[in-house]
């Protein structure tokens, strides 16, 4: 799943950046680091760019850039064993 697929208010954990090196480096400087939580905030009227919250900051990314930020697979919660 990519960052571009998150709905407004949804959160994901960044797994890796599949972007050109210079772009990936700049985003990492802004806080988009593997293992960090990213929240999809709001988007422009046309849906592009979108604003994401990461490491206490809000950063606007174009959809094509957000598509290169891969999230960890979601793991459904494990039910607790019956007592």
Sketch the domain layout of the chain as residue ranges: 3-71
- Does the predicted model carry a pTM greater than 0.85? no
CB 66 within 8 A of CB 50: yes
Question: 12: which 2 tokens?
Answer: 């994901």
Question: 31: which 2 tokens?
Answer: 């806080």
- pLDDT for 39 equals 94
CB 68 within 8 A of CB 2: yes
Q: What share of the chain is helix, strand, coil (3-state, %, to 5)?
A: 20, 35, 45
pLDDT tens for 42-68 read 988 887 899 999 988 999 999 999 999
pLDDT tens for 33-48 read 999 999 999 988 887 8
- CATH dotted code for 3-71: 2.30.30.90
Average pLDDT over residues 27-34: 95
CB 28 within 8 A of CB 4: no
């Amino acid at each position: 799943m990519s960052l571009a697929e998150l709905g407004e208010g949804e959160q994901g954990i960044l797994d890796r950046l599949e972007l050109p090196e210079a772009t990936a480096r700049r985003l990492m400087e802004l806080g988009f680091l593997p293992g960090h939580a990213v929240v999809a905030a709001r988007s422009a009227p046309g849906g592009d760019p979108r604003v994401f919250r990461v490491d206490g900051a809000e950063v606007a990314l174009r959809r094509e850039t957000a598509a290169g930020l891969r999230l960890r697979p979601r793991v459904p919660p494990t039910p607790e064993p019956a007592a």
